[in-house]
Chains A and B, each alone.
Chain A
């Protein structure tokens, strides 16, 4: 499958050169998706399909043009090539817009375990059965789990091929499976929903459906009877799921595009202490079996381990070729491309290194505080670091999780919040390509009534 795609990508590059491009790069992806939704133990929907698409970028002189198509017939490809070449007439000359240097290109050779055949072999009945088992387990936890948004089993098989005019051609296959359960807990007037999931490259590496259902139900149950608290400043603990959202803010802030535009609160701070010495943030595309691993990025540059923040000091931005040239640096192998437009920047496996305290120890040390299990909204300003989000979770009293809280906000500034990290948990687990352990911040404003 992927060999054909690589040949096709290389052929499209040749067609682009023949049409007048000085340089060209083409990415092709192919995927088969399956999804089964079950609700209240009945199949609600089944979805199955395959799709393909190609994207092309050409460089003519110092101008670039882009195009994409889902029509991989020879006519569709010819149109895409002509379109990219035409588009290059409209961009401005930009000395930084070229492809990576030949010596920067390459692919990791070790097995990154991105593809497992057991995903292909799993039959529809078994997928439905697993979704039913997860939901059943949730419904069985407690009579207050009285309703459900259901459970879904998804699988995906994909192939990515990339070729450019500087001699790179490569491909790799991917697979993943996921199972999620979304139960509702109801007690009196209180109705709360939560979810839990497992996702893996291989069916064999998934968590048991019963575990997913049970955790989802327990999470929904512990939210019942949630109330607002008074406005106050207290320590705030982010469980791994919400700590990941803070990590997401770091990811945006170290994106090379935000850096060269000065549109990040971390711009220009390389080598400075930007966080508590407890914080180390790493991007690593070379870890076998994880979701962000790949032999090369979307410009044909090998992935690597990149330490972004080390013991609180900002060490690296995440860069592609363009942003690296803008900043006078080297690409970090973080080029990422969708179908439209120029190459952007994306993480591989992006995570906060584990600390040495258990989540229980972290909570135990807090007399009065807020343990955040859910964040809502778009109140993270990467330019200024201003942070204000809707939140729900549990109130910490006397070192214990005491009662559920909702309809409050938490606010601060990311600069101060990262400096004020007082504890990092040992509970790092990769549920997806970004991961964070429990993280405690000394003080934030909780707004309620």
Chain B
């Protein structure tokens, strides 16, 4: 029997605007379990977005939008039934619940539960969400970025600047009896610059960042000028780039965004769904050495205001700091509800989904390598010949054989311990369980990325963060031409 316990959630848009109450939630959950499922949850989402884009010093796009809906999930054994509706009327939600319920074949579950609100915390306290800020202020950010990038160097001839923000309001109710709400702000400014010598071929540079922050962040902390100059600088550097080397060599990765290495080499392979199914190159390796003892890798969803952070995951479970690799030894997997049930493991706050229209799965949040004690400059000085990479376009991994790539967008030759020429874009390739064994130095300069990453898995995109100090990898294949 379901019992109504008078719980309310007045801070939620779903109560205020759509009249949703605890009794409704229990009715929907009961319907979802009407065919005997083991577990059900509801994910209500209201997403407001806005975007400004500037190109050729002209504000060409100003856009706003709203999407909303609810996803109903039912788990029966290892099976998942899922249905969603972009109409929040009780009839449509009940219909979705009935559709999802069909994954189970049995009598209704008569779980006795009353819904309780979960513990509250706020990793991203935002008074005025960026989506509700004065639109003209966002336009101004893009115009400032445009001016700054052009002022950086006369060889900069094209600038695109985009400011995009969103406010996601969610309510998650589970048949375990928990109701949680969250307001998840996000804002991002990005700048692309093109530069060329008179009569020469263009080169491109890109920079951007943000997080779960207010508009003020871009006025006080990371200004449009900061990102614009960085984009322009990268484009200018590339004007002198020579062909990249090809073959195995020593690679030094700079701090921050190159932490994408960990996301691809390690992170995806440790997501529990792949390991439960035995399809990951890391399957069965918990307790084994998968990296040099200098490497400790964590996935931490609790960092204040970071792009990859969440108060609670998209299944309503609080995020936490998960140690993936400790001094080179594989420690554990990233778990969501379904995998943790099947594997008999604890949830790790890693269940995420792109939207109400998507089934949750284990995902990363902010993934980074902890600082070591080497001096970054010493690390470079110790390399007779190699490649120093400071920025990347993106990466990808084949979970099963463990091979991963990440594509460098700014890198330099190291010759006799000195950084010499910039080189053209090159993709680096390695093998997840092997590559980190060649990490021979870890710097003390841990840095997280600027807040620009989006991770794709099985067609779902979620915002993530990465980070790393300067590291030296003794052996890695560099995909140049020369």
A228 with B477: CB separation less than 8 A: yes
CA distance in complex: A47, B139 (Å): 40
CA distance in complex: A339, B139 (Å): 20
CA distance in complex: A68, B55 (Å): 22
Judge whether B112 is part of the interface by a CB distance below 8 angstroms: no
Given the interface pairs A340-B65, A379-B425, A411-B481, the reply to whether A406 lies near B394 with Cβ below 8 Å is no
A67 with B407: CB separation less than 8 A: no
B binding-site residues for A, Cβ under 8 Å? 49, 51-53, 55-56, 58-69, 78-86, 96, 99, 102-103, 135-136, 139, 157-158, 160, 194, 196, 201-204, 238, 244, 246-248, 277-279, 281, 357, 359, 393-401, 403-407, 424-431, 477-482
Residues of B within 8 A of A16 (CB): none
CA distance in complex: A387, B51 (Å): 31
CA distance in complex: A306, B277 (Å): 46
Given the interface pairs A383-B202, A445-B482, the reply to whether A376 lies near B396 with Cβ below 8 Å is yes
A388 with B407: CB separation less than 8 A: yes
Judge whether A428 is part of the interface by a CB distance below 8 angstroms: no
Given the interface pairs A45-B82, A147-B279, A378-B395, the reply to whether A340 lies near B477 with Cβ below 8 Å is no
Given the interface pairs A48-B99, A49-B96, A147-B279, the reply to whether A67 lies near B63 with Cβ below 8 Å is yes
Q: Which of A89-97, A271-279, A290-298 contacts B (4 or more CB under 8 A)?
A: A89-97
Residues of B within 8 A of A376 (CB): 396-398, 403-405, 427, 429
A231 with B426: CB separation less than 8 A: no
Q: Which residue of A lies closest to B396 (CB)?
A: A376
Q: Which residue of B lies closest to A447 (CB)?
A: B246
Neighbour of B281 across the interface among A76, A88, A191, CB < 8 A: A191
A44 with B401: CB separation less than 8 A: no
Residues of B within 8 A of A201 (CB): none
Neighbour of A49 across the interface among B157, B357, B481, CB < 8 A: B357
B247 with A448: CB separation less than 8 A: yes
Judge whether A410 is part of the interface by a CB distance below 8 angstroms: yes
CA distance in complex: A83, B66 (Å): 10
Q: Which residue of A lies closest to B248 (CB)?
A: A449
Judge whether A384 is part of the interface by a CB distance below 8 angstroms: yes
A94 with B58: CB separation less than 8 A: yes
Given the interface pairs A42-B78, A46-B102, A383-B194, the reply to whether A262 lies near B158 with Cβ below 8 Å is yes
The B-contacting residues of A in range 398-434, CB under 8 angstroms, are 406-413
Q: Which residue of A lies closest to B50 (CB)?
A: A87
A384 with B201: CB separation less than 8 A: yes
Judge whether A341 is part of the interface by a CB distance below 8 angstroms: yes
Q: Which residue of B lies closest to A382 (CB)?
A: B204
B426 with A411: CB separation less than 8 A: yes
A48 with B60: CB separation less than 8 A: no
A226 with B401: CB separation less than 8 A: yes
A410 smallest CB distance to B (angstroms): 7
A interface residues, tally (CB under 8 Å): 80
Residues of B within 8 A of A218 (CB): none
The B-contacting residues of A in range 46-90, CB under 8 angstroms, are 46-53, 55, 64-71, 76, 79-80, 83-84, 86-90
A70 with B86: CB separation less than 8 A: yes
CA distance in complex: A403, B58 (Å): 54
A87 with B64: CB separation less than 8 A: yes
- Interchain Cβ contacts under 8 Å between A and B, 26 examples: A45-B359, A46-B103, A47-B81, A49-B84, A51-B84, A55-B65, A64-B61, A66-B63, A70-B86, A71-B66, A80-B66, A147-B277, A147-B278, A262-B158, A263-B158, A263-B194, A341-B53, A341-B61, A342-B53, A378-B393, A379-B393, A386-B424, A389-B405, A390-B404, A406-B401, A449-B247
Neighbour of B67 across the interface among A53, A192, A379, A407, CB < 8 A: A53
CA distance in complex: A143, B102 (Å): 34
Residues of B within 8 A of A51 (CB): 69, 84, 86, 357
B244 with A378: CB separation less than 8 A: no
B49 with A340: CB separation less than 8 A: yes
Residues of B within 8 A of A76 (CB): 66
Knowing that A48-B99, A407-B431, A445-B481 are A-B contacts, what are 16 other residue pairs whose CB atoms are under 8 Å apart, sorted by A's residue number? A39-B277, A45-B82, A49-B84, A53-B67, A66-B61, A87-B135, A89-B62, A90-B59, A191-B281, A340-B65, A377-B395, A379-B425, A390-B427, A407-B430, A409-B428, A449-B248
Residues of A within 8 A of B405 (CB): 376-377, 379, 389-390, 409
B429 with A409: CB separation less than 8 A: yes
Give the number of residue pairs across the A-B interface with Cβ within 8 Å. Answer: 269
CA distance in complex: A86, B138 (Å): 14
A226 smallest CB distance to B (angstroms): 7
CA distance in complex: A91, B204 (Å): 25
Judge whether A392 is part of the interface by a CB distance below 8 angstroms: yes
B244 with A341: CB separation less than 8 A: no
Neighbour of A379 across the interface among B68, B400, B427, CB < 8 A: B427
B359 with A184: CB separation less than 8 A: no
Q: A218-262 vs B: 1/0 string, CB under 8 Å? A: 000001001010010000000000000000000000000000011
CA distance in complex: A39, B52 (Å): 43
Q: Which residue of A lies closest to B392 (CB)?
A: A378
B276 smallest CB distance to A (angstroms): 11
Given the interface pairs A49-B83, A406-B401, A448-B247, the reply to whether A70 lies near B429 with Cβ below 8 Å is no
Judge whether A336 is part of the interface by a CB distance below 8 angstroms: no
Judge whether A113 is part of the interface by a CB distance below 8 angstroms: no
A91 smallest CB distance to B (angstroms): 5
B83 with A47: CB separation less than 8 A: yes
A410 with B479: CB separation less than 8 A: yes
A262 with B246: CB separation less than 8 A: no
CA distance in complex: A21, B62 (Å): 15
A68 with B407: CB separation less than 8 A: no
B86 with A389: CB separation less than 8 A: no
Residues of A within 8 A of B69 (CB): 51, 70
Q: Which residue of B lies closest to A69 (CB)?
A: B66
B425 with A381: CB separation less than 8 A: yes
Q: Which residue of B lies closest to A90 (CB)?
A: B62
Given the interface pairs A261-B158, A390-B429, the reply to whether A379 lies near B61 with Cβ below 8 Å is no
Residues of B within 8 A of A91 (CB): 58-62
CA distance in complex: A92, B146 (Å): 14
Neighbour of A409 across the interface among B79, B85, B427, CB < 8 A: B427
A378 with B202: CB separation less than 8 A: no
Residues of A within 8 A of B279 (CB): 147, 149, 184, 193
CA distance in complex: A263, B156 (Å): 12
Judge whether A43 is part of the interface by a CB distance below 8 angstroms: yes
Given the interface pairs A340-B49, A340-B63, A407-B430, the reply to whether A378 lies near B278 with Cβ below 8 Å is no
Q: Which residue of B lies closest to A322 (CB)?
A: B60
Residues of A within 8 A of B68 (CB): 70-71
CA distance in complex: A378, B391 (Å): 13
A340 with B51: CB separation less than 8 A: yes
A172 smallest CB distance to B (angstroms): 22
A44 with B80: CB separation less than 8 A: yes
CA distance in complex: A410, B407 (Å): 12
B234 smallest CB distance to A (angstroms): 12
A48 with B58: CB separation less than 8 A: no
CA distance in complex: A192, B431 (Å): 13
Q: Which 5 A-B pairs have the closest CB atoms?
A: A409-B479, A390-B405, A378-B394, A379-B427, A68-B65
Q: Which residue of B lies closest to A124 (CB)?
A: B102
A263 with B244: CB separation less than 8 A: no
Residues of B within 8 A of A383 (CB): 194, 202-204
B170 smallest CB distance to A (angstroms): 15
A388 with B62: CB separation less than 8 A: no
CA distance in complex: A191, B285 (Å): 14
B201 with A407: CB separation less than 8 A: no
Residues of A within 8 A of B357 (CB): 49, 51
A193 with B81: CB separation less than 8 A: no
